[in-house]
Amino acid sequence: MKTRILLVDDHKIMRDGLKNMLNKHEDLHVVGEAEDGRLALQLAKDLKPNIVVMDVAMPDLNGIEATRQLLEERPGLKVVGLSMHSERRFVTEMLKAGASAYLLKDCAFEELVTAIRTVLEGKAYLSPGITGVLVENYVRNAPHADTSVFSRLSDREREVLQLMAEGRSTKEIAMQLNLSIKTVETHRSNIMTKLDIHSIAELTKYAIREGLTSL
């Protein structure tokens, strides 16, 4: 029985390359592709993949939030994080969201098949370049409180912040998230208060720095 794989990446050339590589293996089959996290949530429901290869930085809904929501709905699903970023905050938050593996894109074609087979065995997989980052972070920062956006804002507030940073209006955000305009305005006010940031320009810079969006 073939392992069903959903590819999620906002760059079509990356998806095409990974799809061609994976489909050469008799036990692997790419059943679908998504260009953002929100579409990935829908396709995961429809296609029932065993593995989701998830880009971390994507528009509309980033890979960290998408992973968290996917695994809330399907705890047995395996997610392989894929990113060009090796910084601590991207790696740790993707793993906290429930990803079983984290690969750097420049190593993806060499490591992805191994990573998929590793997580199917119930084990974790990290690109070799990642482990040093995590160990160094633990040694330096273990005693300190987590002050990242993932600890300071709620799941919904992070979704709203990402869409704000990507230039969506309050009305557009309300429609996208199926919320009232008043609720979105409340979230925006709470975000600004919690972060002590009171302009859209500064919020956008913060969202990019924290990895919520890659714009």
Per-domain residue ranges for the chain? 3-141, 149-209
Does the structure show a pLDDT above 80 at 137?
no
Q: What percent of the chain has pLDDT over 70?
A: 92
Does the structure show a pLDDT above 60 at 145?
no
Does the structure show a pLDDT above 80 at 215?
no
Contacts of 148 (CB under 8 A, 6+ apart): 89, 93, 210
Looking up tokens 């998230």 gives 177
According to the model, what pLDDT value does residue 143 have? 47
Long-range contacts of 136-145 (CB under 8 A, 24+ apart): 137/88, 137/92
Predicted TM-score (pTM) of the model is 0.80
Query: Residue 212 to residues 59, 110, 168, 180, 215: CA-CA distances in angstroms?
Result: 9, 27, 14, 23, 9
According to the model, what pLDDT value does residue 180 have? 95
The residue-averaged pLDDT of 183-202 equals 93
Q: Is 211 exposed, middle or buried (0-12, 13-18, 19+ CB in 10 A)?
A: buried
Q: What count of other Cβ atoms lies within 10 Å of the Cβ of residue 21?
A: 16
Q: What is the amino acid identity at position 101?
A: A
Q: Which residue has the higher pLDDT, 130 or 164?
A: 164
Q: Which residue has the higher pLDDT, 42 or 135?
A: 42
CATH superfamily of 3-141: Response regulator (3.40.50.2300)
Class of domain 149-209: mainly alpha
Mean pLDDT of the chain: 90
According to the model, what pLDDT value does residue 138 have? 52
Band of residue 1 on the pLDDT scale cut at 50, 70, 90: confident
The reply to whether domains 3-141 and 149-209 share a CATH topology is no
What is the tens place of the pLDDT at every residue in 46-97? 999 999 999 999 999 999 999 999 999 999 999 999 998 877 788 889 999 9
Q: What is the amino acid identity at position 31?
A: V
The residue-averaged pLDDT of 159-186 equals 94
